[in-house]
Structure 1
Amino acid sequence: MVPGDAPCSAELIHGRLSSGDGRSCRNERRRLSSALRAVSGEKKKEAGGESQRPRALHATSSSRGTLPSYSQPLTPHREAWSVSSCKPGNGVASLRDDSLDTYWQSDGAQPHLVNIQFQKKVQLQLVVLYVDFKLDESYMPSKISIRAGDGFHNLKEIKTVDLLKPVGWVHISLSGTDPRETFIHTFMLQIAVLANHLNGRDTHVRQIKIYGPRP
């Protein structure tokens, strides 16, 4: 392992508010609100007793180049982050360093996993990923699965997402199949990379942020 590199399993604390001026913060809040309203509208249309299986979404990117700014960190609890594998120098810390130039790189068989465990049950509403097809090509995920549960023993898939060559931030709502459910309660969240573009083996993800509902 390269000296100074974070191991593939490391405990990190999510708590610092992303910096940015007031205008960018307001603009990002409006973009987030619009995205969540759109998801809510889709769910209202689909409500009617149809299948409860996880829904496949097609995600596209937004806000390329700068970190998104929100009014406050929405998951202020202590979290333990780990990944299923990593290349030396490209470990779990690269997902949390607020840099778009670094990335987690897996080093093993698919699926590639990012695990986030909480000390107590929390409410989660949104997962935000930064990916870059132009830079990462065959290393970029093409399909991911979002899973939640009390621990590794009972994780349940809640959503699958297709990534169509995005460059930038990808917002993934965690709301349930019931349009009244705008968040999930969980002790653990897992993000699984099921496939890469161009049949790539290992994967690159540059940043991951998670948010809960506003008080």
Structure 2
Amino acid sequence: MVAKQALPDITTNGIWSASSTKHGFGINNLYNNNIETFWQSDGKQPHSISVQFPTRQHIHSLSLYLDIDKDESYTPCKVCIFSGTSQRDMQLLQESDFKTEPRGWIDFTLSDVDGPLMAHFLRIELPLNYENGRDVRVRQIRILGPPASEQQFRANHTLPYTSPDFFMFDSIR
């Protein structure tokens, strides 16, 4: 039996923003490791949370902590996840309608044909709530990178060039 490797938490490697924020319930509540705090939107739907990484990141999964018991009509019932190399080329990765009411961590594995997703930008759209609620609450968010062994494999199987000119063309879009 192979032991499951821990995935590195890359949540705080990015710069976070939101489509709107209710005063006192800011975006920094999403990654403060406290499920009693939350980000709350304040405006028209769809609501969104975005993260921009300074360099392309290998992304294994994204997790949201939602709680229908505490947040009722503020709880999203649909999640759309987009990724891209810029805000202008975002593509839909996943669209999920919850079959059961969310209570706790909801995990989304993100990958492309070559393995873990590589992206500069992620956007999580929250277009619908339970009970036709208007604003959204998300208690925590986590973005996890691939296992260390996979990162080491990728590092050992890439060309030894490090110039910015080379990295502009290191993958096919």
- Fold match, TM over 0.5? yes
1:108, 1:150 → 2: CA distance?
Answer: 27
Amino acid at match of 1:207: Q
What secondary structure does 1:143 align onto?
strand
Residue in 2 aligned with 1:114? 49
Residue in 2 aligned with 1:172? 108
Shift of 1:76: 7.6
Residue in 2 aligned with 1:193? 126
Contact preservation (8 Å) 2:11, 2:143: no
Change (3 A) 1:119 1:77: farther
TM-score in terms of structure 2 length: 0.78
Q: In the TM superposition, what whole-angstrom CA distance separates every residue of 1:94-114 from its partner, at most 9, and x where no partner exists?
A: 101111111110001111111
Residue in 2 aligned with 1:211? 144
**Does 2:30 correspond to 1:95?**
yes
Amino acid at match of 1:114: I
Amino acid at match of 2:132: N
Shift of 1:77: 7.3
Residue in 1 aligned with 2:81? 146
Percent identity among equivalent residues? 35
What secondary structure does 1:135 align onto?
helix
Larger relative contact order, structure 1 or 2 (CA cutoff 8 Å, min sep 6):
2
Quote the RMSD (CA, aligned, Å): 1.8
Report how many residues are paired: 145
Change (3 A) 1:101 1:74: closer
TM-score in terms of structure 1 length: 0.63
Change (3 A) 1:108 1:130: same
Contact preservation (8 Å) 1:74, 1:214: no
1:73, 1:165 → 2: CA distance?
Answer: 28
Residue in 2 aligned with 1:125? 60
Shift of 1:182: 3.2
Shift of 1:175: 2.1
